[in-house]
Amino acid sequence: MKLYYLQGACSFAVHTALNEIGAEFEIEKVDKDSKKTEAGADFREINPLGYVPALELDDGNILIEAPAILQYLADANPEAGLAPANATLERTRLQQYLNFTASEFHKAFAPFFSGKEMSVEEREAAVAKVAVRLDYIESLLADGREYLLGSNFTVADTYTYTVATWTGPTRIGLDRWPAVKAYVARISSRPSVRNAMVAEGLTSS
């Protein structure tokens, strides 16, 4: 398999999941502006929409959209325990959290990564929008659970964790959300996450 990624982007969630299942795979970085891969290919020929992640399977099929890829990997590798069984309430909760992260939490960060400078008022509005989503995640974790679905780490956590880390470069921080801050720290210590960070050049060790 080959994962097309952008450093620290939502593709990091897929990178983490691939590590969790012990997959054999390559990674190839995509330039956000030129849409070229490290090998010089036009990424839009791989994903016409032009954004990561894209996962090329061993048979040549290309999967896009993080929630779909994450569930595919979890279902194809049930021994990893990254998703509850289909047709269960727990699986529906996992889909709920994946969809929330994709449609609400992830998208709330769009103004920070648009390449356009925000006014003070625009930034305040953008931070407020992110804060509402963080308030929700804080409320989920307030009962002391380790992960979104309880004690089991799932693909929903790989995605929510990845987006939560964007509070760093955007200077939002997590001090207002202690449960989320502890959640991020806990997941940051997982070998799958550390290895992905090293591979993407986000840390040296």
- The string of pLDDT tens digits covering residues 156-181 is 999 999 999 999 999 999 999 999 99
Looking at the structure, do residues 152 and 173 belong to the same domain, yes or no? yes
In-domain check, residue 107:
yes
Nearest by Cα to 97 from 50, 141, 142? 141
Name the helix (H) or strand (E) containing 55: strand 54-56
With 0.85 as the threshold, say if the pTM is over it: yes
Nearest by Cα to 41 from 75, 4, 8? 4
In-domain check, residue 46:
yes
Predicted confidence at residue 30, as pLDDT, reads 98
Domain count, the chain: 2
Looking at the structure, do residues 61 and 134 belong to the same domain, yes or no? no
Range of 6's domain?
Answer: 2-80+192-199
In-domain check, residue 70:
yes
Name the helix (H) or strand (E) containing 18: helix 11-20
- For residue 131, the domain's CATH number is 1.20.1050.10
Alpha helices, DSSP H, located in 21-167: 66-76, 89-100, 106-108, 120-141, 155-164
Residue 205 reports pLDDT greater than 80 = no
Residue 8 burial class via C-beta count within 10 angstroms: exposed 0-12, middle 13-18, buried 19 and up: middle
